[in-house]
Structure 1
Amino acid sequence: MAPARVEENLKSIVHLVQQADAAAILIAMPEVSLAGPLSDHPLYARAAEATGALLVPHAVSAVLSDGRLLADQVHPNAEGYRELADALTKQLHDLGVLR
């Protein structure tokens, strides 16, 4: 799917969540890359800024950029999932979502 369409779909989903009087949290996903460390696709930051959703950046990209944390080229191994869970928990605490 084209990134512009993904971004518009995310904005629509966030608006539905907000209409239900719930907090919308976007977890940034990496931009597709065949070489080097991954980085977050910029559409997540744009969608969060446009909608007021909370953004959790870098967690997925960091895990998927570390070969020690991968089961294959696109999936974390058990340690990778632990690292991802720890990173998400920390960032959600920092955002005030978790206590």
Structure 2
Amino acid sequence: MKSVSAILLPIALVLLSACSGPKLEPLAVDAEIWAFGDSLTYGKGAPQGQDYPAVLAKLSHRRVINEGVSGETTTQGLERLTHLLEYDSPELLILMEGGNDFLRNHDTGLTKANLAQMIELAQSRAIPVVLVGVPEKGIFLSPAELYSELAETYGVIFIEDELTDLLKTPSMKSDTIHLNAAGYRALAEVIHRRLIEVEAL
């Protein structure tokens, strides 16, 4: 018969590993968060004020700036983020971009390189990054592997499957590629929970 310590040790190791991921500094009440991305950040498919950044602002009691541009690719996003960071700097960057690259069959190596440069731009200014995985185009949606690879390389907070799961759920979508108000609320709640888990809130 196993001893109590032999039974509890594996459980303790699992709990420790779950708590050993990256953490963030607590965000001040006047902190500014940038939600950066394309139409899924902008909120296409939902009424005004029901995009995920707007919902996240209410949940977190922080200022969340919607920096979503419909139709934007990562090449365009990299150029835009570079320009924005010349004039301002948030306390946190939520990066969710790449879907238009996949829809237009852009080279995934270029997409990954663009996202890597965006992360590097933020980290060079000591801006923490939350990276949201975006699904590749296909019959069976799954997050592109490049996101998990980037998260591991740069040690950023990573939200891997949740957007894909929402885009697989008809009741959460306004069309084939966009969420509806319920979907954006669910995404905001996921991000809010993760920010609490990593001690940012």
TM-score in terms of structure 2 length: 0.45
Please say if 1:15 is aligned against 2:109.
Answer: no
Q: Secondary structure of 1:25's partner?
A: strand
TM-score in terms of structure 1 length: 0.87
Please say if 1:4 is aligned against 2:109.
Answer: yes
Of the three residues 164, 186, 194, the one matched with 1:61 is 164
- Structure with greater strand percent: 2
* Structure 1 ranges of 4+ moved more than 6 A: none
- Structure with greater helix percent: 1
CA distance in 2, matches of 1:14, 1:4: 15
Of the three residues 182, 186, 193, the one matched with 1:79 is 182
Aligned 1:19-98 pairs, distance under 5 A = 19-33=124-138, 35-36=139-140, 38-97=141-200
| Count of residue pairs the alignment pairs up | 96
Higher relative contact order (CA 8 A, sep 6+): 2
- Percent sequence identity is 26
CA RMSD of aligned residues (A): 1.3
Larger Rg: 2
CA contact (8 A) 1:28 1:40 kept: yes
Unaligned runs of 5+ in 1: none
